């Protein structure tokens, strides 16, 4: 049981290049989230998917697109990367546990640098 996995772990892009960040969860959760975290800052929500087939914008969606490929996978695409998108990207998926709490499981992150 790997939880939430993300690929790649690191990526360097030139301005204008495109790339897709992959996220997968093996916990059979309905919802999935993409966050970005800039140095010394908290996490900001980019997009989320409440269930398979649905996606919604978060706080900072500009410059990104997402695809909820199936229940397991939720990808984030940068069509034309900009230096302002240099950040660490986290994928997450929440669930209610048998302990009666609702917690968000995070992936290990993708560190993206745009030059």
Peptide bond into 4 cis (omega under 30): no
How far is it, in rounded angstroms, from Cα 12 to Cα 113? 5
Number of residues in contact with another protein under rule CB under 8 A = 28
How far is it, in rounded angstroms, from Cα 35 to Cα 47? 7
In whole angstroms, the minimum distance from the beta carbon of 16 to another protein comes to 28
Q: Which residues contact 58 (CB under 8 A, 6 or more apart)?
A: 33, 34, 35, 44, 45, 46, 47, 48
Counting every residue written for the chain, the total comes to 115
Taking contact as CB under 8 A, which single stretch among the options 16-24, 60-68, 70-78, 89-97 is the one that binds another protein?
89-97
Residue 86 within binding range of another protein, rule CB under 8 A:
no
Single out the residue of 70, 27, 79 nearest to residue 51, CA to CA. 70
Residue list 95-114, contact with another protein (CB under 8 A): 96, 101-109, 111
Residue list 20-49, contact with another protein (CB under 8 A): 31, 33, 35, 40-45, 48
Task: Using the minimum distance from each CB to another protein, give the nearer residue, 92 or 114.
Answer: 92
In whole angstroms, the minimum distance from the beta carbon of 7 to another protein comes to 14
Tell me 29's DSSP state: -
Instruction: Give the footprint of another protein on this chain (CB under 8 A).
Output: 4, 31, 33, 35, 40-45, 48, 50, 56, 58, 90, 92, 94, 96, 101-109, 111
């Amino acid at each position: 049981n790997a939880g939430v996995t993300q690929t790649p772990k690191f990526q360097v892009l030139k301005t204008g290049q495109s790339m897709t960040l992959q996220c997968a969860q093996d916990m059979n959760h309905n919802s999935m989230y993409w966050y970005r975290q800039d140095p010394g800052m908290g996490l900001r929500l980019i997009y989320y998917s409440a269930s398979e087939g649905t996606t919604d914008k978060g706080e900072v969606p500009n410059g990104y697109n997402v695809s909820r490929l199936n229940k397991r996978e939720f990808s984030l695409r940068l069509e034309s990367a900009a230096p302002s998108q240099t950040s660490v990207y986290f994928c997450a998926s929440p669930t209610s546990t048998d302990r009666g709490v609702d917690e968000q499981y995070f992936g290990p992150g993708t560190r993206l640098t745009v030059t």
